[in-house]
Amino acid sequence: MWHIKPLTAADLGALEALLHANPLRLSTLPAVRDQLAERIAAAEQGFAGLDGEATLLFGLRDHEDSLLGVAGIQPYAGGDEPFYSYRIDELVHASRHLGINQRQSVLYLSHELTGLTSLCSFSLTPSLRDSQAFELLSRSRLLYIASHRHAFADELVVEIQGIWDNEGQSEFWKNVGELFFGLDFITADHQCALHGKTVIAELLPPYPIYQTLLSAAAQQAIARHHPGAERTVRWLEHEGLYKTRFVDPFDAGPTYRGRVDDLASLQSLCSVTSVQQGQPTRSTPLLLAQGTGSDFVCRLVQGDLQADSLITDTDLTDTRPGLVLPLETH
């Protein structure tokens, strides 16, 4: 049975292997053993309520407790540092004498999204991306937020991977960041993951960047998501998040945003006071979240809601109250 639990130090080796096997590199979770150990330790402190700024890391596991996926929540984007993005905007250039009036698309360096709750660090075994495991790993984070509503912001933000070539390089980065960093995309992304996004403010210009001065390929990459993120985008849009004017400063991938309390999953949640083993009248797939903090667990079960109880034929020993979400695939 697939289930979600917080990562612990015992998951270090499995997490490193999982990240190395994923074709989509995670800038928020570098596959460097020492760094991963620090991230897991910080997450454990966060689950224990000792660090409200740590990124919380959740692991997808099978019936043998093997790690099949990871996903994160940053309670307040940026933590104690600004959370940088480029904001797509327009400037008007006009000459009354020449009769010319032009609108130019520009990119402004912004930290407007700092402090919103961020969903991040999603990595799933490729063979499971089209299964219900994707829904469990994605949406279990929303159930955790609902169970600990006081610990998160009112709005959610999600950065999506942008367009990379077959070698993992970004045409947008070649035209913008590489000119100021002197580093290729992979190296710069890795360094930012290790040292934080303050390096962006230190090295990128604070002035608007005119899109017309970029190559055609770089312009076309702005606000476009990587093909491998298609299902994530469909899920976010189903939840009610919308595509913003903000893009990632490294690969120009799109950023989605929405109000937490308006999300489709939170609107569909039911509280149950008991979980009972039995033969349900109508068995449907459900997500069942129980426990708080480091004791949180979210399972994919088959069952039926009856009043304030869940009747399930899934073999469960945990009968604690919890939150139940009917599972829909997108």
Task: Show which residues are catalytic.
Answer: 226
Q: Which residues contact 323 (CB under 8 A, 6 or more apart)?
A: 143, 146, 147, 269, 270, 271, 272, 288, 289, 290
| Nearest by Cα to 26 from 140, 190, 172, 249 | 190
293 vs 81: CA distance, rounded Å: 24
Give residue for tokens 């700092």. 114
54 vs 121: CA distance, rounded Å: 13
Sign of the C-alpha dihedral computed for residues 236, 242, 243 and 246 taken in this order: negative
Structure token pair of residue 181? 């960093």
Structure token pair of residue 249? 């400063």
Contact 209, 117 (CB under 8 A): no
Structure token pair of residue 195? 């040292």
123 vs 88: CA distance, rounded Å: 28
User: What is the signed CA dihedral for 189, 190, 193, 194, rounded to 10 degrees?
Assistant: -140
Structure token pair of residue 30? 């570098």
Buried b (16+ CB within 10 A) or exposed e, 280-314: beeeebbbbbbbeebebbbbbbebbbeeebbbbeb
At residue 38, the 3 state secondary structure works out as helix
Q: How many CA atoms lie within 13 A of 51 on its CB side?
A: 17
